[in-house]
Amino acid sequence: METTKQVLDTLKKNGKPMKAGEIAEASGIDKKEVEKAIKTLVKEGKAHSPVRCFYAPK
């Protein structure tokens, strides 16, 4: 499964904004990979940051 899709699925399942480290822990993906995926998701408009350092699906 593609990393960005896994990150987005993890965010959707959780139901509340998460930090990159929490996403990494919940999904089993390396934190650096999660950070790259988050950047991509934000750029594509699929995720946003409601509070600094926290991310949620749009």
Tell me the per-residue pLDDT of 14-45, one tens digit each, with 9 for 90 and over: 989 999 999 999 999 999 999 999 999 999 99
pTM to 2 decimal places: 0.89
The structural domains of the chain, with segments of one domain joined by +, span 3-57
pLDDT confidence bin for 3, thresholds 50/70/90: very high
- The pLDDT of residue 44 is 95
Residue 9 above 90 pLDDT? Answer: yes
CB 21 within 8 A of CB 27: no
CB 12 within 8 A of CB 45: no
Q: Which CATH number fits domain 3-57: 1.10.3470.10, 2.60.120.460, 1.10.10.10, 1.20.1440.80?
A: 1.10.10.10
Output the six-digit token pair for 24: 């990494």
Q: Which residues contact 14 (CB under 8 A, 6 or more apart)?
A: 26
- The pLDDT of residue 1 is 58
